[in-house]
Amino acid sequence: MTLLFPAMRAIHFASLMTIFGAGAHATLLRKKGLGTLPSQRPLRAMLIGAATLALVSACVWLALVAGQMSGDWHAALDPSAILMVLRSTRFGHIFLVRIAGLALLWAICLGRNAPASVAPFVLAGALLGAVALTSHAAASGNDTLSLLVSSANDTLHLLAAGFWTGGLALLALLVWTQRSELAKMLLPLRVFSQWGTYAVAALVVSGFTNIVFIRPAAPWRGVYGEVLAVKMGIALAMIAFACLNRWRVTPALASGAPAAVWPLGRNVAIELVLGLSVVAIVGQLGLMPPR
């Protein structure tokens, strides 16, 4: 159970981030003149898979919370313990709203027009942001105002991370489907680089603000601080690869250099793996005492 809990949290985050980020970038590409994405079918399959994982992981997450609160992991399978969480906790109250939204998201992603619609990424963004209401940042609020401010900042952090990570998932999908015509990757790369810069700025600012809310005195001390430092180190590595793509690979691709093909696929793959590693760490951090 000690591994299953953070794993379910990480899968839930990654699934919603994929739908939000991929959908947001697909919308931006359509507005830039790319009417129908060449990878429409794979994108729809990705949306359906992510929505399914988000729904299933949320249910398992609820059951594990019931087991944790009861002090007995067997209670994760006890309907009365689960019902108590739903009735008596803020997590449970928010879960009831979120599970309805997750079911709706799954149904929308099943639709044939899901890749061309803004509905999946808008709903996924709302559901991802709602997680902030039960986060460490929200728990650090001493009154209603501080709760709202800390939750809003954590929501921004999650959405910025989702925009970046989900955008990488779409970029990886496009690289794979357009591997024989990588010149068509110029527009997606430029869109991702431009908007990714804004996402990284929001991510860094909101991340440091979260640290102030959660651990204002000694942010790097203890196991929590060490894990947080690892997370930040991986995020910096992601930024480094993003800079390589923007200032080295994209110009080379624009010039028609064949040598740009391999670095592009490699860098996107590495950056995506690093992003998922950060999400895995977030899954664990949320279960660790921050103080």
> Whole-model pTM?
0.90
CB 50 within 8 A of CB 19: yes
Mean pLDDT along residues 31-38 = 68
pLDDT bin (cut points 50, 70, 90) of residue 220 is low
pLDDT digits (tens, 9 = 90+) for 68-127: 888 887 878 889 999 999 999 989 999 999 999 999 999 999 998 898 899 999 999 999
Percentage of residues of the chain with pLDDT beyond 70:
88
Q: Is 33 helix (H, G, I), strand (E, B) or coil?
A: coil
Tokens representing residue 11 in the block: 């899968």
Rg (CA), the chain: 20
**SS3 state at 64:** helix
Q: What letter represents residue 150's amino acid?
A: S
pLDDT in tens, 222-267: 787 888 889 889 989 988 888 887 777 777 777 766 656 667 778 8
How would you classify residue 8: left for phi > 0, otherwise alpha for psi between -120 and 50, otherwise beta?
alpha
- Say how far residue 66 (Cα) sits from the centre of its chain: 24
**pLDDT above 80 (res 54):** yes
- Residue 141: predicted pLDDT: 57
To 10 degrees, the CA torsion angle through 10, 13, 15, 19?
Answer: -160
Residue 109 token pair: 């992603």
| The residue to which tokens 């947001």 are assigned | 24
| Packing angle of the helix pair 119-130, 144-177 (nearest 10 deg) | 140
Q: Which one has a higher pLDDT value, 33 or 187?
A: 187
Q: What are phi and psi of 41, to 5 degrees?
A: -65, -50
pLDDT at 181: 72
Q: Which residue has the higher pLDDT, 101 or 290?
A: 101
Higher pLDDT, 209 or 99: 99
| Cα dihedral 101, 106, 112, 118 in deg (nearest 10) | 40
Mean pLDDT of the chain: 85
Rounded Cα gap, residues 23 and 52, in angstroms: 16
Query: Is residue 291 over pLDDT 70?
Result: no
